[in-house]
Amino acid sequence: MRTPMIAGNWKMNILKDNDDFPEQIYVNKINEAIKEKDVEVAIFPPFTHLGLIYGLADELPDNKSFNVGVQNISDNEKGAFTGDVSAELVSDVGGNIVILGHSERRSIHKETNEEICKKAKIAIKNGLQAVICIGETDEQNQSGDTLKVISEQFEKSTPSDIDVNSVVIAYEPVWAIGTGRTPSIDDIENIHSSLRKYISQSRGEEFANSVRILYGGSVNAKNGAEILGLNNVDGALVGGASLITEDFVKIIKSL
């Protein structure tokens, strides 16, 4: 049985002590939602907020299903790499999960599958669960190359010799991120089903049946329940809606 995960990617947003976004209330409401559902929640604030959010979550009576992590790590373990943050440093201050290979990292920072795979190995070595993002562009989608693209990204970005519990896959069609556009419900189900079938052929049936595949791309409080109700969708990677407490909690509760 795959426990669903709802992940909130804050990207480069939210200031400390923002009156419109009280972090303590945010954490408390998520904790209440977790108690109602069999779900894991992961929050990915900017690096500057990691200690704050982890500290709030760590004070909860039962925080086993509340994960706090970061949106990227260095592909070096330590050393003279000014401006980089290592997996070990994240783990040292309480982080336990990391997003890798987000389309914005792939496109803006030109990260390759090979670099993402290297980061995933380092993350897992240091006790971080790796959420590996894959997804096609609008042009690739229109050309009918979605499965080809995401299968190759999965194969080359995901280490081959890993425990299934150390990795989560997030399918995010690039053309749907932050645009308000989403694939049809049938398309999401077909893509997730086809991807799981490919993973079964590549990594074995046991791995494929156990690995969680999240959907991301303009998930919100209105469409969350329908998307999360699909058989092969094991949760959601949420962007903008994760910055609105009521909307994010509604997505969690829609499971």
H or E segment and range at residue 133: strand 129-134
Q: Which two tokens stand for residue 114?
A: 């090979």
Question: What mean pLDDT do residues 128-154 have?
Answer: 97
Mean pLDDT of the chain: 95
> Is 49 one of the annotated active-site residues of the chain?
no
> Is 102 one of the annotated active-site residues of the chain?
yes
Q: Which two tokens stand for residue 173?
A: 């069609």
What local confidence, expressed as pLDDT, does residue 140 receive?
96
Q: Which residues contact 95 (CB under 8 A, 6 or more apart)?
A: 50, 54, 68, 69, 70, 128
What local confidence, expressed as pLDDT, does residue 178 receive?
86
Q: What CATH number is associated with residue 139?
A: 3.20.20.70
Q: What's the CA gap between 29 and 195, in Å, rounded?
A: 33
- Selected catalytic residue, list 23, 104, 111, 172: 172
- Selected catalytic residue, list 102, 104, 111, 192: 102
Pair 100, 157: CB distance under 8 Å: yes
3-state DSSP call for residue 168?
strand
Q: Which pLDDT band, with edges at 50, 70 and 90, does 47 fall under?
A: very high
| Number of domains comprising the chain | 1
3-state DSSP call for residue 167?
strand
**Residues 173-229: pLDDT tens digits?**
999 888 888 899 999 999 999 999 999 999 999 999 999 999 999 999 999 999 999
Task: Print the domain residue range for 107.
Answer: 5-253
